Amino acid sequence: MTTSYYDVIIIGTGAGGGTLSPCIRCNTCDGFPCLVDAKADADLNCVRPAEQYDNVTLITEAKVKRLHTSLSGREVIAVEAQINGEIHFFSSDIVVVACGAINSAALLLRSANEQHPNGLANSSEQVGRNFMKHQNAAMIGVSLKANLTEFQKTLAINDFYWGDADFDYPMGHVQLLGKVNADMIAQESPSVLGLSFQEKNAFEAIASHSVDWWLTTEDLPDSNNRVTLRGDSIQLNYTENNTEAYNRLVNRWTQVLKMIACGERIIPASFYFRKKLPLQGVAHQCGTCRFGEDPKTSVLDINCRTHDIDNLYVVDGSFFCSSAAVNPTLTIIANALRVGDRLIERMA
């Protein structure tokens, strides 16, 4: 067992730099990690530059098991982590949890103690509640016209965000997906087509004639949609909501895709694949430690410091009170920069 001290501890999931991009223009950019460090992701643009400073230490393959508080329960005095099978304790003036909305809530719940019997920062009983992940769908329209593009994810449409002629409420956001390939089609749709996995040529033909879309509808906060613990496992209790808006957006976009311009003719697409992301699709997770001014109804204050614990901050998608029908990443980044300024002020 070892103990280490730092000025600030940031607990999170890992996500790199150069002036000239090494991109080789491959067709696996969207949805895949980059093996040549050519993506402008968090690792390349944030983590690696930060590691250049002498006062920054990145510890990987460390499983944070719980946070320990003082006897008063008003500050975190130790972060317990398992590294290579051994328990290590880290302490600092400030602790920032940024594990993603699901795992951040789980860590706070797992750290329950005598002063915080329902989990850390959970006097409001809101930790883990109001989990949101969006209503997401992938839609692939297949037509007679070939679509040989590789860098397809270049267009977004919000024409139906604020409703439609017969619907006054937000329906959502539509954007292009990265280009699908034959393997993706075969994996997701053999039962629809009645084709076997071995019929490769058919799947290649479908992929080369498809236009691929991503549809996002708002997921509304519901206190019953929540993260809980069952022993060492994390449980997601979730019931879909806002399904009418989702169904309307999917049907409306299908109508649009039925008429595809091809020269001077209008050719209806032959068929479509629709897939709604299941509960496991939690890339847009947020809302489990909502911020606010009232400690009775929120977990964090407006600067993302927990109401109950003076030196504990949660800085990821957990702070959301609601979730617009767009990717939350830029909002998470902007808020993290804002909170970073507040931490600098506090440390000064």
- Chain center to CA of 163: 25
Q: Mean pLDDT, the chain, as a whole number?
A: 88
Instruction: Please give the Cα distance from 177 to 115 (Å, whole number).
Output: 48
208 three-class SS: helix
- Residue corresponding to tokens 């009232």: 294
Q: Which domain holds residue 36?
A: 2-130+285-347
For residues 121 and 306, the answer to whether their CB atoms sit within 8 Å is: yes
Q: Who's near 173: CB < 8 A, 6+ residues apart?
A: 156, 157, 158, 161, 215, 216, 217, 325, 326
Give mean pLDDT, residues 9-34: 71
Per-residue pLDDT at 28 exceeds 80: no
**Statement to judge: residues 54 and 110 lie in one domain:** yes
Domain boundary among 244, 276, 308: 276
Residues 72 and 57 in one domain: yes
Structural domains counted in the chain: 2
Q: Are 123 and 21 in a shared domain?
A: yes
Taking the CB of residue 149, how many other CB atoms lie within 10 A of it?
12
Structure tokens at 29: 């950019």
Alpha helices in 122-266 (DSSP H): 182-188, 190-193, 200-208, 243-257
Whether the per-residue pLDDT at 132 is higher than 70: the answer is: yes
Q: What is the pLDDT of residue 277?
A: 87
Residues 254-279: tens digit of each pLDDT: 888 877 655 445 555 556 678 888 88
Q: Does 121 score more than 60 pLDDT?
A: yes
Q: What Cα–Cα distance (Å) separates residue 222 from each residue in 139, 172, 320?
A: 27, 19, 12
Single pTM value for the model: 0.87
Residue 8 has a CB neighbour count (10 Å cut-off) of: 15
pLDDT digits (tens, 9 = 90+) for 199-243: 678 888 888 888 899 999 999 999 999 999 999 899 999 999 999
Q: The domain that contains 64 carries what CATH number?
A: 3.50.50.60
